[in-house]
Structure 1
Amino acid sequence: MGGRSPRVLLTDQNETIKAAVSLVFSDSHHFFHLWHVLENIPRRLDYLSIWHDTFMEKFNKCIYRSWNEVQFEKRWWKLIERFNLREDEWLQALYEDRKLWVPAFMKDVSFAGLSAASRSESLNSFFDRYIHGEMSLRDLIGKYKSILEDRYEEEAKANFDAWHETPELKSPSPFEKQMLFVYSHEIFKKFQMEILGAAACHLKKEKEDGSTVLYGVKDFENSQDFMVEWDELKSDIYCSCHSFEYKGYLCRHAIVVLQMSGVFSIPFKYILQRWTNAATSKIPLSEKLDEVQAKVRRYNDLCRRAIILGEEGSLSQDSYNAAVGAINDALKQCASVNKNSENVSRSNLPAPLAIQGVAGVNHYGTITCGQQLPVCKVTNTNNPKNKFWEGARGQWRNH
């Protein structure tokens, strides 16, 4: 971690882990996985089995529908009294740790997709494909290598797709156009669903206090009601569905409120760099999103040109030497220009990809911005399996 503690640490609900985190990572924000808390309820409250469905309905309302801490407290104690649970020690401990797992206490925290309401949606589910409770430590280490190999393949494919494809716009929304070249493909598609879902939302102003307005939003697609708080002065927006806190991007309810408030671009503070095409850059994401979008376009164009250069330069040793020399000279010039310019920032490139050949290319041709790429084979040099990706929409193959 570069000598720094993680900003947010998510663990299972466990007192021993809680004490250890407090001792070792005193500067980190420690939270419990919400899905783990919910998973423990049937086992911890097995004597409520005949009331389980009714209890869970009220419990979920208390957790997910409490707009603020005061509302949570009111609903919690009403729940405790109704089911006569004041003497339950596990629930007492759960209440004492409420700031570690209840969404109402997490307005200033973003988990960026690392926490979810169910195990199947969490990061843990990824590892469930590879490991099980009976696995030995030796087998676990071997499987971990396989996990890394698969992740390398996924990353290489995602990088390749980013070079060749631009997601399709599905609405005239300015938010969708804004994030088209900013978000990674995967996150953009998820955000796009929120854009389209905003059409099924109806809002009503509930309360106004200075620059802060509270809206009630009815989501007809999900048949649920949500509360959205918008502070125009601070450009702060908060929704009771907690999409930004848990997923790292704004929800349809927040989007429809921004639209009705005359705001037609996502505030910078709600664009996480980890979900953007600049995620691997050491330079923080600039507030000038137009420049970020332009950087992505320039990067994609340079990658296309590099493919042609790689094919041409590999034809002979002399052409290879000429290509390497030109690349080195160009790199020095770019470094010099970027060093002296405050308007141009230099981002780290993704993991290196070795171009194995381009089919159907005129070796004396050139490629311009926006020109379609020919079919090519790309090898991920970080991938121990030594596979290559064939074609712009092909598949991984073994050598």
Structure 2
Amino acid sequence: MTDIRPITDAELPDWTRALNTGFLRPPTVTDQALADRRTTIADSRTSGAFDAGRCVATFRSFAQELTAVGGAPVPADAISNVAVSATHRRRGLLTRLISDDLTAAKDRGDVVATLIAAEYRIYGRYGFGPATTMTEWTIDVPRAGLDPRRSGPEDGGRIDLADAEEVRKAGPELHERLRLAQPGAVSRDEHWWAADTGLLRPGGNPWTEPFYAVYRSADGTVEGLVSYAADETWSAAKQPRNTASVNWLLAVTPAAERALWRYLCSIDWITQVKTGWRAPDDLVPLLLPDPRAASISTQADWLWVRILDVVQALQARTYDAEGSLVLEVVDPAGLAGGRFLLDATPDGASCTPTTRSADLTLGVAELATLWLGDESAGRLAALGRLREERAGAARGADALLRTSGRPWCPDMF
């Protein structure tokens, strides 16, 4: 019988080796990598599956906040570092690991669980549904039609280069401003900023400092930050063909967002900009005089959500319309199922268990897909993934649940 348990510090090297192997990384584990990983998992729930004393599966979760529609932070159980060795597949190890974790999260009072799915087909069977989408564009700078004579923002703001220390000071507060205004965004702790600016290297990888630029409004307030790298590619005719690759870009005002993208497209020698993971309704293509210069290079599901408390999840978010909806939520794991009455208004909402006849019957994964407002109940009904118990109920659900702006999670975890 494979033993599943929280790991000890002495088992961390074996656990890390199993994690690296599962993600097809070199299995070598250095002392520096272990030291950095110890700091990042200090407050986490880190477990492993062991067979004859060898780690054959890894699992980690940690405390997180997820922003609901309307800006309320919701306590979440963030799941990461999931790997099962190829020698031990189809033995139920992930099921045991994730079931234990979700039960503990429910007992703690977490409202949802979150993850970024490496593979699409795994997590639906545990009640997770894809709740946000990400898009990456590649911008052909010469074709974009931007005026090369522009020297900077025209709104009285300014852009300056920054270093890692400045980013560690200004970044957390800026990110919090963005997070509390962006449904689907998640919290970042001090370890995130340390790892992203080179103080920590949890994977043991060499550190190459990126370029950082900061946008300040006319009154000096930091309203945007970008981290990016650039290659050194030249044509045979000695013409620059360099690409700027954005690691992340944070902007809390449209002016900051416009200024940072125009800055990236104005750097000497840069003929192509890769935007990194952005919201699917990001401003960037339409900021360009020729939006066709921005072609989609990646578009896929991103943040997956698992509802653990239906009442708290539906009461945490806001609603632009007024209406009532009775949902029959099916959860084979027994964590969040039941029949619930949602009474919503723009001033607030209540959600209570009810014996009234259901308007819609849907799985807990489908509820998660609808919760952040990106998916359509009508589409799910057409796909056979939810059932209308009352004619027109899916259309009514869309009027309540869908949002004008699409949810977005800027982070990988």
The normalised TM-score by structure 1 is 0.25
Q: Tell me: higher relative CO, structure 1 or 2? Use CA pairs within 8 A at least 6 residues apart.
A: 2
Please state which structure has a larger fraction of its residues in helix: 1
Please state which structure has a larger fraction of its residues in strand: 2
